[in-house]
Structure formats: C-alpha cells, structure tokens
Structure 1
Amino acid sequence: MVSIWGSSGRNDQRTTEDGHTHPDYQHQEPDERTRLISRSAPNEGYLSPDDPAVSPYNLWSVRALRFFTCLFLAISFVWWVFLLVSIFVSPPLMYNRGSGFTDFSYTTLTVGNLIVSLLFFTIPSKPMIMWNSVLALFLLVGMIIIVAVPRIRLEEGWVGIASIVWAILISIYNIAQVYFVEKGKEEEEERLTGRVETRRSLFEWVSVLVETIVLGVIALVTILLTATLILRARDSSLEVPGKRYLVNNEKYEVHLACVGSITTGDNKTPTILLEAGETPAEHALQPFIHNTYRNGTIDRYCYWDRPGFGWSDNAPSPHSAGMAADALSEALALAGEEGPWILVSAGVGSIYSRIFASRHIHDIKGLFMIDPTHEDQLQQIGKAGRGFVLWGRGIISPLGLDRLAGAIFKGRTREDRVYGKVSYQNGKYIKAKLQENLVAESMTSSEVASAKNIQTPETPLVVVSSGVEVRKNEKWAKQQEEMTKVTDNLVSWDVVKGAGHEVWRSWEGKKVLERRLGELVKQA
C-alpha cells in the first residue's frame, strides 16, 4: 500500500483488503480527520479497531447530535420540574383541569428516554430503533385519543397535549439519532481501520442488553398509558346527571344535580344539600337520600361533587375546604338554587358543610352530620407520610394497573370507576385527596376555626354516630360528643349499634337516619 501522504501534485492510493487500490486523498494540509492517522502508523496507515481514535465523535454531525440530545434533555428536565411543582402549587397559565399526573408521566418517560439515549450514545443498536418506533406509535395513538375525546382534551389542556407531542418528537428524534450515529460509526471504522467492525466487546453486549431491557420497560409504560387513556375515553361517555358549572373565574367545572320540585310561598320547604365524605356522593349518601325522597320523607335534595370527585374537574393547587365551599356557592348561584338548606354531611364532609354553613348563616335551617370528622382529625389527614403515599399513588395512577385489571378481570363498569366503589383509583380523586392533605393543618384548620365562631347557635343540629367506631376508639367517641356542641340547639344524638362509619349501610342505621331527618325537616 502506498502511504496516503503522497507527493505534491498527484493523487494518493490506498489498498483495500481485497487488494484493489483506489484514489483516496490529494496532498493537503492535515485536517480534523486526516491528522488522526499517524504517518508511521502500523498496518500501512490503519488504526487498531480498539484505538480510542476510532470514534463516531470524529464527525461534527455526530457531535451536533449529542449536543442537541443534551439540549433536549435539559429542556425536558426543566419542564418536568415545572409539572412536579404544579401538582402542589399551580403556576400561572400551566393549570389543567385534570389530575396533572398524566402529563407528568409523559414528561418523565421523555426524560428517561433521553437519558438512555445519552448513556448509550456511542453504542447504537437495532433494539433502540425498534423500541423507539414502538414508543412513537403508541404515543401517537395516545395523542389522538387526548385530542379527539372532548372530556380528556379539556382535562389535560394544552399542558398535557404539549407533553405528549414532545414525547413523540423525542422518540422520532432518537430513531434518527441512532441511525446517524450508527452510520457515522461505520464510516469512521472503514476510514480508520479499513473495514466496518462487526464484533462487539463484552461491555458493548452488556450495554445493548441493558438498553434493550430499559427501553422495553419504557415501551411497556407507554402501552399502559395508552390503554388507560382508552379506558378514560370509555368512561367519559357516561351520561352526567344534572349539570357541570364553570366556577372560580371559569377555571374548572363542578358537577351539581337537584332532584324534586321547588316549593314556593311563605312555607317553603328546605332543600336537602348533600356533602359527601371520603367517597363521591353518588356512591355514598345519594342512594340513601334518594330513598327518603321516594318515601316522601323529603321533598327535594341537591348533591354535588367536590373538585376531583365524580364528574367534577380538579381545582388549582392549593385547594382548601373553604375554597370548595366557595365553589359550591358559585355553582348553586349559577344553577339558580337559593335555599333554604338543610345540610346533610358524612365523615370529612362535615368539615366542608360547617364552613359552607358559616358563610350562608341565613339560609341554613339545619345541620345533619353522620359520624362527622372532628377538626382535631385534620392532624391525621394532613400527615406528611399520608401525603407522600398519595403522591406516590398519583404518580403511578396514569398506568391504570388497578383500573385495567378491574375492567378486564373483575368486570368493573364505568360507574364503578367514575363515582363508584373503585373511584379512589382515579387520578383526579387522588389529586383531590392530596390537595386536602397539603392544606389540612394550615388553611382548612383556620377556616374551620373561623366557621366555629361564626356559626349561628340557634341552628338545629342532629348527629348520628357509628356504634362500631365509638366502641373501638375512645378518642373518637369523645370527639363525636364534642360535635354535638357545634350549635346550642341539639335536636338529637344517636349512636347506632353495629353500624360502621358509613352508618346508612346498616339496616338499623337507615331507619335511624330517615327518622331523624324527617324530624329535622318538620322542625325546619
């Protein structure tokens, strides 16, 4: 082979492995690429395949690709931080009406994909192209679902759409990156060693195995995210009783429904207004109250879903019980509902109803509390450990592991998932409980203390407590007794034997509740 460093004025020759020669380089000053080969290099000017100089980084295009990968990772990480913060405090213009966990999941996926791409940048492989193609395909399907289904589009907003579009673009970019890095690697190997290297070192094989497994997991996550979106699209077709109303300067919608005719005149009958406890009203109190309506015990009732529950959107963070009471007030005004009201609440819903009552003292004709939560329990509700568990559940909720399994293997229905017995698996519900946790010991505690001072002492009060809870917890029993002193006009306090926290689930509990509710309505 003739050295590639020829004399001036003639073309140099380079011998290939098959013995042929071809023109290579004209005599010129060494540049970025030619100076990598020493004039005295062994093997007639070729480098060893293991020489560090044999690298795709020799090409400016490959270095540019790495720069853009680092840039995209930095952008994605900043966006990831913003979305993480928005779960706890909603930044201006970044609020969406959904849980906020879905867009966070897509951005986390994007960051993970870019990190894998950087870690194995110089070890391109076919599995990387294959898995990124799978990612792009299922992400595209997910984007179509979000954009095409009006309810999901409203819940995710521009933030969710931007997050999934960015994830699609990064997957496509990674496919192009792997392809061009692989071509650049082959080009440099042929130029510097005389042939394309077909063997891989043990390190490279381990790297390919690791990147295949990690990207396979990321692809599986993407498939689950898409399957959950399909389930959400199915659930969004469920007919909404009543109506949704835009509240809080039209930032989000809450669901409100009323049953029965409005009475007029001087003897206007109070409307029962339900405030659910730990689960949506449709699953808990509303079926029991509807039976009392059909039995003629009450003439009319209204129920609503707190933000994040049932058919209501999530509210911006932070969100306290007082803010929820304001949202209910606004929804009632928009619906033309003026009261007067008898507030029926259960569990933690008693906190919300007491605050609402203190802000509508002239319209409240009675308080009916079922195994109510004492304000001292806000310390338990606001525990940091509980908040961390809720946050963790929220992060994995877009995967829909429990919802998908329930739908496939247990026959869970749309009703079960939206407001029924498994509504707690919903990302919106988890976000609402996390919001409740974050402000329980600060904002909500202060609001309840103010409500206690404002509440009209003459308001009729009925308390019905769980015999099971009172018997097994002395502290709870004392707190139930304290709840009978919320006003100075206690009509009755019943402790129902054998009834659990949801007193209306037992036969004896139903009888006591209906009898006491009827008495309160007559007195009002």
Structure 2
Amino acid sequence: MSSLWRKKKDISETHEDSPQDGDIPHAEDPRGRTSQEPTERTRLLPPEQSQGYLSPDDPAVSPYNLWSVRAVRGLSLLALALSFVWWTFLLVSIFVSPPLMHSRGSGFFAFSYTTLATGYLVLGLLFFAVPSQPMAIWGIILSALLLIDMVIILAVPRMRLEEGWVGIGSVVWAASISVYQVIQNRAVAWGKREEEERLTGREETRRSLREWLVVFIQMVVLAIMTIAAILFTSTLTLRSIDVSLEPTGSRYSVYGDTYQVHLACVGDRTEANANEPTILLEGDYGPVEETLQPFIDDAYRHGTIARYCYWDRPGIGWSDNAPSPHSAGMSTDVLSEALALADETGPWIVVSAGVGSLYSRLFASRHLLEVSGIFLIDPLHEAYLSDIGNPNRGFFLWLRGILSPLGLDRLAGAIFRRRTREDRVIGRSAYQSGKFIKAKLQENLVAVTMTAAEVQSARHIQMGDTPVVVVSSGKKMKDPEWAKRQEDLSHITERLVSWDVVRDAPHEIWTDTEGRRVLEQRLKDIVKESQSQRPWR
C-alpha cells in the first residue's frame, strides 16, 4: 500500500493546478478539503490521496482489494476443506463402511461426484484471480448436467434407495459447487473490472501470455470435467433402465435391514415331493442366472429334480451391495436369513460351481442337519484363495470401480452390441456394473484372511456321512495342481458318491453336451442317495 501511496503522491504533485481527464470529482468540505463518502472501492486507500491512475500491470490493480471478493475466496476454501473431508470418508468407505455411511449401490458414484466437486474447487482457487468467459460457459454446461443427474437419482425410486443419503448428498453437493463456481467466476470478474476502472481509469481488455495460458488450462480441464459429467448422465440413464427389470423372485431385507438380497424358488412343495430335498444353487464368478440356473431349470423341467432355489450374492444380479468388509461366511449368513424370511426349509442339496463351491461348503457346515447332499461342479479349492486375494487384482478392481461411473464399456455395449438390460443385470455384461466390481473387491480384500479361516473351519465341522458328488473339467485337469486339488475336494466327507472327469469339457461343464449329460445323471444319483441316507419325515 505504501508503494501505491508514493506513486499517487508523485502523480498528484504534477497536477496541482487543474483537474485532469478521468479524475473523479470531489465535493469540498467547509475546511476546503475534498471529501467523498467511503465505499467498498475507496475505503482500502488513504482518504487524502489524489486521483492519478496506475498502470494496468501494477500489482496493486487486483480484485483482492475488495472485501466481497476476499469473502468469496474464503468461502471457496471452506468448501474445499469440507469436500476433501467428505472425499476421504467416501474413499475409506469403499474398504471399510463407517457407521451410517453404507450405500446399497457400489458407492463409486458418490465418490466420483465428490471427486468432481473437489477438483472443480481446486481449479477455481488455483486460477481465482483470472476469471474468463469460457470458464463461465463451461461451468454453466457442467451445472446443467449435474442438475440433470440429481433429478435422475431422485426421480427413480430404486436408484434413490441404492444410492441412499450418501449418494444423494454427493450429487447435490457436486451440483451446488458447480453453480457456486459460476457465481464465483462472475463475482471475481466484476471485482476485477471495478478495480481496473477505479485504479486505471478503464477496464483492461488485454491479457498477458500467462493469463492466456491459464484460460487455456481452464478450458481443457473444464472440458474434461464436462465430458465426464456427460458420461455420468448417460450411465445413470442406463441404470434407470436396468433397475426397471423386475426380479424373478423376491428381495429380502437382511443384516438388520441394511440391504436386500434376491432369492427365488421354483416348484411347489407337495405331498408327493415332501421328503425330496430342494436343490440350493450357488453360482460361480458371475450371476447364477447366467451360469448354472438355466441348466438346473432344464433338469427341473425334465423331472430330474422336484424343486430348486437360487439367490444372488450381495452385489450381484438383483442383490444390493453389503457393507465392507464382507466375507464368504457373511454371505452364507444372509442367505440363511433370506431363506428363513421366505419360510424355506430343508432338506437341501447344495449345488455349486467354481468359487461358489466355497460358499456352498460354508452353508453346509452351518446347516449340518438340513443339508443332505453336496454337489460340486469343477469347484475352486481354498488353496486358490491367494489368487482371489492377490493385491494386484485388488488394485485393478479398485481402479475399475473408480472408473465405472463413466460407463465406457456399458455404454459401448448398449450402443454398438445391442446389450439389453437383462445382459447388464444378470447376463454377460453384469461384470461391468459398479455393484459387481464392488462385490469382487470385497471378496478380494478378505480372501486370504476372513474367508480362508471360515472355509478351514467349515472343513473341520462338516458332517462325515453327507453324500458328495464332484464333476471336474477335463481341460482344467490337465493342470497337475488343479487335479490334485480336485481330488482333495472329493474327500471333504467320508461318503463320496462319485467323482467324474468330463474329458473335453471346459470349466463351465454345463456348456458341454457330454458335461450336461453327466451332470444331470449325477444329480439324479445324489437326490436318490440323499433320500436313502437321511430320510426326512
């Protein structure tokens, strides 16, 4: 301020005799001195100074001279601090759900919106003193897109339930910040113009090379943010279509009404089949509706089995995501709860494939008197849990989850490959959803700790006289390690009904003609064996 005072004093000494063009007229007070009512534009400078103008390049010509502009910047700093704290909580909640912060959806959308809001605040603060028209235009477009996203989430009941208050609050926050940034840009532009007119006599229309570089960076970053928002909107639109697909069974609220899982049963309980066990399916990597259920449904139609039930593990198909961490044993517990809520009782023959075999074995160990048979289709041995829990795989899943709200693969599938909502919910594209990725990340995080301990305990608890059937893939059996593990799984109880190796069948044995024949025959065998071994009255 002292440099500003000296400059204005030097200028005033050369213009004592007459007023110059551009001077602001002043009224004289009774003592012969000029006076002017203090305003926001004048109170920051000494009242006795004269009205000489500064160079437009003088550092004193700044919008920061105005308290209103400084207040806007302070508000932006406060918003950034709040946004960063919320962003941190959401990042942590992906791995460990804090109390009251669980999202029935993946939680990746909430994280993405908060990331967008935080980045927008950082951009606005970095280039606070260089407002521009392009920044205002891009900001208005971004605000409109985020407001549309907010409307979509609030208007679709199922999405509103999945996102919960965490997701809704995050998108509202992002939309509010985008509107605020437009206001901030205009406020700083006004302050800059006011100070230029007051201190230099005119609005500065020139820009330095540095300012042009800043404007260019603003445009590029905001263009990227806008493209991301367009993809968010497109993915949300696709989700609004997908959630309209009605489940084949019913959703049951489990785990203290924290989330819902989908369970469906096919076939009626009659006097003729009252003593016949019900098949309880557990899918492999993807939704059971895409893998094992069609084969079992054919067996049901052929009369091989009288009744079967299947469910979607948390985060897969029509089921919500569970709070983190979530182990295989926790999934088994919520399956038991869903069966109880549906008034479904045993006897059960658990039929599973691949990684689903771990879940079925846990269920069998926790329902010893209700499980009358275990049918394993090319099962995954617990020794391979280290592959599921591989840190590199976990990082890749996390990265996929963070990018999932962009929906690049889902949108491409819908536009170019004509993928339907069935494909995206329970079909071949289900692995692309944020919910599915979150479920697999949860599986990865506890595979070698909680899940491994649960499976080991289950092996010690399992009833020794429970009939077991194992059918293995001939192609996978070419791996000596896999063959050794398959043989080990054939001894999880003392009663092995059969162990078959289908020569040319892949891991999904039911997709092979000979494999389907063997599976259906062994299904008949284990139903018969379970009835003779442990009859139910």
Cα pair distance change 1:24/1:394, threshold 3 Å: farther
Tell me whether 1:485 sits opposite 2:498 in the alignment.
no
| Distance in 2, Cα, partners of 1:361 & 1:340 | 10
Which of 134-143 and 251-260 deviates more? 134-143
Distance 2:158 2:248 in 1: 16
Instruction: Answer with 144-153 or 258-267: which moved more.
Output: 258-267
**Secondary structure, in 3 states, of the residue corresponding to 2:317?**
coil
Partner of residue 68, structure 2: 61
Deviations, residues 211-242 of structure 1 (Å, cap 9, x unaligned):
00100110111111011110000011112111
CA deviations on 1:248-303 (whole Å, 9 max, x unpaired) are: 01110000000011134896100000001101110000000000000111010000
Establish whether residue 34 from structure 1 lines up as the match of residue 45 from structure 2.
yes
**TM-score, normalised with respect to structure 2:** 0.92
Count of equivalent residues: 513
Gaps of 5+ in 1: none
Unpaired segments ≥5 residues, structure 2: 1-7, 29-33, 531-537
Partner of 1:169: 176
Shift of 1:45: 2.0
CA distance in 1, matches of 2:27, 2:519: 96
Query: Hey, what does 1:300 align to over in structure 2?
Result: 307
Q: For residues 167-186 of structure 1, give each alpha carbon's deviation from its aligned partner in whole angstroms, at most 9, with x where no partner exists.
A: 11111111111001001001
Aligned equivalent of 2:102: 95
SS in 2 for 1:244: strand
The root-mean-square deviation of aligned C-alpha atoms, in Å, is 2.3
Compared with structure 1, are the counterparts of its residues 461 and 57 closer, same or farther at alpha carbon in structure 2 (3 Å cutoff)?
same
Deviation of residue 33 (structure 1)?
A: 2.7
Q: Any idea what SS the aligned residue of 1:45 has? A: coil
Question: What letter is aligned with 1:262?
Answer: R
Q: Which amino acid aligns with 2:402?
A: I
1:36 is displaced (CA, Å) by 11
* Rounded Cα–Cα distance in structure 1 between residues aligned with 2:439 and 2:461: 27
Which among 184, 189, 194 is matched to residue 196 of structure 2?
A: 189
How far did 1:15 drift? Answer: 3.6
TM-score of the superposition, structure 1-length normalised? 0.94
Aligned match for 2:214, one of 204, 207, 214: 207
- Residues 266 and 388 of structure 1: is their aligned pair in 2 closer, same or farther, counting only changes over 3 Å? closer
User: 2:383 matched to which residue of 1?
Assistant: 376
Question: Separation in 2 of the partners of 1:302 and 1:14?
Answer: 95
Residues 354 and 377 of structure 2 are in contact (CA less than 8 Å); yes or no, is this contact kept in structure 1?
yes
Residue of structure 2 aligned with 1:273, choices 280, 283, 307: 280
What is the correspondence of 1:143-158 to structure 2 with a 5 Å cutoff? 143-158=150-165
Q: How does 1:355-504 map to 2 (within 5 A)?
A: 355-471=362-478, 473-504=479-510
Q: Partners of 1:495 and 1:440 in 2: how far apart?
A: 28
Which SS does the other structure have where 2:475 is aligned? Answer: helix
Q: For 2:148 and 2:82, how far apart are their aligned partners in 1? A: 24
> Would the aligned equivalents of 2:11 and 2:52 in 1 still touch at CA under 8 Å?
no
* In 1: Cα distance, 2:306 partner to 2:176 partner: 57
1:409 positional shift: 0.8
* Shift, 1:400, TM fit: 0.6
Q: How far did residue 32 of structure 1 move? A: 5.0
Match of 1:85 in 2: 92
Q: 1:449, 1:237 → 2: CA distance?
A: 40
Amino acid at match of 1:501: H
| 1:114 corresponds to | 121
CA 1:16–1:516: 2 relative to 1, 3 Å: farther
Aligned with 2:491: secondary structure? coil
State the identity as a percent: 60
1: CA distance between counterparts of 2:348 and 2:111? Answer: 41
How many Å separate the matches in 1 of 2:381 and 2:285? Answer: 14
Distance 1:503 1:295 in 2: 19
The alpha-carbon distance between structure 1 residues 239 and 15, as it changes in their structure 2 partners (threshold 3 A), is same
- CA distance in 1 between counterparts of 2:81 and 2:254 reads 36
Tell me, yes or no, if the aligned pair for 1:37 and 1:46 is still in contact at 8 Å. Answer: no
Shift of 1:34: 2.1
Partner deviation per Cα, 1:93-122 (whole Å, 9 max, x = no partner): 111111010100000000011011011100
Q: Are residues 24 and 441 of structure 1, via their aligned partners in 2, closer, same or farther at CA, if it must alter by over 3 Å?
A: farther
Aligned: 1:225 with 2:232: yes
Residue 506 of structure 1 corresponds to 512
Displaced runs of 4 or more, over 3 A: 2-7, 12-17, 20-32, 35-39, 263-267
